[in-house]
């Protein structure tokens, strides 16, 4: 990346205003045109949202987007839209035992609604608050039940099965820590009490140990900060077997959206850890030990992103994609979404930006102002790119908000427009939600409003 060291959050103010205007139009367009009988909208095909049967992991982003739109603009029409749809549609996601995505679906809906109430943005209603709390408590417990024990810990298994640790799931640890912090008691056979905090921390540690590389010689491709999408374990003896990838090019290259999930997930868990009492952490190694492995993983992944992303802050879909070499010196110029060889993935940038900004604030407050500023400025640089064309969708007929999203390049699921050799020009629910989330984050900083975190829903 070529970091803009002078850009300030306030420099983006006009772009943010335009962004929310377009964002509202897109939410309305989906509400008016999308056929709900087809299932959850996942990504766009020729500008129209379509579904893709794999797992139900994007519906919370759809309704959560309306809630964020209200948060940013105070337009109560979007609040009612998000609230009504959460009540009507989201219950199956709370009890869904087959996915690793509870932190996506349920924290984005029930969590955001409870957060707005705790922040005083919407009127306090105890029964409504209890409803949101109950959903979050059960969601965290159901998520924690997808458990695979390994040597020295365990992890939340992906929908692929008990052998599979996905780097994505670091962001679903939000569900566990919220359920724990809300006082939920998770019980197993014989009424044995299972610590949700312990499971969250063990999953985070497993992700740090196996999904993130540190240049310490694990294999021939061990580079500081690279990530593997999937880590595979022998479920009989708990031993790690190999890195793998479902949506990246290989287990020995870095799928950039997976990298971004790690950047964002570790950074926000560091922020939450600061609110957790020492007494709760002592049983699991203590604050300094836990903070150290989280900070190492967050720092490494953010460094890798900066070093392996084109100058404008938007990465290609995988840093080892097989045709990148045909682009020449692609890291020393802006990303090219309309090239003939490999797609970019704007959603990796949108998710990664939040990790950069949060980590930058965190390390600066810990006393490392130089590193903190580097991460923040890198985040603002990439966000500035995403808030303009060709990434911001300005067409009044295109239902997506953030263009040039990639879902599954190896499976060929993404739409290739006529005349193009690669997928481009389309959007996704996760991309649209996460660009809204990071824009809200920056807007609150500009306006000196309460700092945006997922755990603001715990505040009284």
For residue range 162-201, list pLDDT tens digits in order.
999 999 999 999 999 999 999 999 999 999 999 999 999 9
All structural domains of the chain with their residue ranges: 22-54+147-170+185-444
Four-CA torsion 269, 271, 276, 282, nearest 10 degrees: 60
Q: Which of 328, 318, 157, 358 is nearest to 227 (CA)?
A: 318
Q: Of all residues in the chain, what percent carry a pLDDT higher than 70?
A: 100
**Each residue of 402-442: pLDDT tens digit?**
999 999 999 999 999 999 999 999 999 999 999 999 999 99
Phi first, then psi, for residue 240 (nearest 5°) are -70, 135
How many angstroms separate the Cα of 62 from the Cα of each of 204, 243, 276, 346, 409?
Answer: 27, 32, 31, 18, 22
Burial class (CB in 10 A: 0-12, 13-18, 19+), 411: exposed
pTM to 2 decimal places:
0.98
SS3 readout for 11-30:
HHHHHHHHHHHHHHHHHHHH
**Residue 67: Cβ within 10 Å count:** 27
**Each residue of 351-367: pLDDT tens digit?**
999 999 999 999 999 99
User: What is the pLDDT at residue 282?
Assistant: 97
Question: Is the confidence at residue 460, as pLDDT, over 70?
Answer: no
Question: Is the confidence at residue 397, as pLDDT, over 90?
Answer: yes
Q: Which of 381, 213, 416 is nearest to 311 (CA)?
A: 381
Four-CA torsion 49, 55, 56, 59, nearest 10 degrees: -40
Tell me the sheet residues that pair with 150.
153
Q: In whole numbers, what is the pLDDT of the chain averaged over residues?
A: 97
**Which is more confident, 249 or 460?**
249
Across 90-101, average pLDDT: 95
> What angle do helix axes 76-89 and 59-73 make, rounded to 10 degrees?
160
For residue 74, give every residue at least 6 positions away whose Cβ sits within 8 Å of its Cβ, in sequence order, or none.
none
User: What is the pLDDT at residue 97?
Assistant: 95
> In 308-425, where does DSSP find H-type helix?
346-365, 369-386
Instruction: Check if CATH label 1.10.10.60 holds for domain 22-54+147-170+185-444.
Output: no
How many angstroms separate the Cα of 383 from the Cα of each of 52, 57, 342?
Answer: 28, 25, 22
Question: Is the confidence at residue 54, as pLDDT, over 80?
Answer: no
CA 446, chain centre distance (Å): 22
User: What is the pLDDT at residue 459?
Assistant: 77
């Amino acid at each position: 990346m070529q970091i803009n060291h002078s850009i300030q959050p306030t420099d983006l103010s006009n772009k943010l205003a335009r962004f929310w205007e377009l964002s509202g139009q897109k939410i309305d367009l989906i509400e008016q045109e999308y056929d709900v009988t087809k299932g959850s909208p996942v990504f766009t095909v020729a500008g129209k949202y379509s579904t893709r049967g794999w797992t139900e992991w994007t519906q919370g982003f759809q309704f959560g987007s309306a809630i964020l739109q209200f948060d940013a603009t105070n337009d109560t029409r979007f609040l009612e839209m998000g609230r009504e749809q959460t009540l009507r549609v989201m219950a199956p996601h709370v009890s869904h035992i087959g996915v690793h995505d509870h932190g996506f679906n349920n924290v984005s809906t029930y969590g955001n609604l409870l957060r707005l109430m705790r922040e005083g943005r919407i009127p306090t209603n105890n029964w409504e608050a209890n409803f949101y709390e109950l959903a979050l408590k059960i969601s965290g417990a159901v998520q924690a039940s997808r458990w695979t024990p390994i040597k020295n810990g365990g992890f939340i298994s992906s929908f692929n099965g008990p052998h599979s640790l996905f780097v994505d799931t670091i962001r679903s640890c939000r569900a566990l820590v919220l359920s724990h912090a809300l006082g939920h008691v998770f019980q197993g056979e014989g009424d044995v009490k299972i610590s949700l905090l312990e499971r969250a921390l063990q999953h985070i540690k497993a992700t740090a140990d196996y999904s993130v590389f540190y240049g310490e010689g694990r294999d021939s491709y061990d580079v500081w900060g690279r990530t593997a999408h999937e880590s595979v374990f022998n479920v009989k003896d708990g031993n790690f077997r190999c890195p793998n990838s479902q949506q990246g090019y290989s287990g020995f290259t870095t799928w950039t959206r997976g990298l971004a999930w790690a950047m964002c997930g570790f950074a926000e868990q560091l922020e939450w850890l600061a609110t957790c009492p020492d007494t709760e952490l002592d049983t699991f190694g203590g604050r300094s030990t836990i903070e150290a492995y989280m900070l190492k993983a967050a720092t490494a992944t953010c460094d890798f992103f900066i070093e392996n992303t084109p100058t404008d802050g938007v990465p290609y879909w995988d840093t080892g994609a097989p045709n990148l070499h045909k682009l020449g010196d692609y890291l020393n110029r802006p990303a090219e979404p309309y090239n003939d060889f490999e797609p970019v993935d704007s959603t990796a940038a949108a998710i990664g930006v939040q990790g950069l900004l949060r980590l930058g604030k965190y390390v600066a407050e810990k006393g490392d102002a130089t590193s903190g500023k580097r991460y923040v400025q890198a985040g603002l640089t990439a966000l500035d790119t995403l808030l303009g064309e060709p990434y911001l969708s300005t067409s009044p007929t295109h239902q997506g908000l953030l263009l040039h999203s990639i879902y599954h390049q190896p499976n060929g699921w993404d739409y290739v427009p006529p005349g193009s050799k690669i997928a481009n020009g389309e959007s996704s629910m996760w991309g649209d939600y996460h660009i809204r989330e990071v824009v809200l984050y920056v807007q609150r900083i500009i306006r000196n409003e309460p700092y945006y975190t997922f755990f603001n829903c715990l505040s009284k």
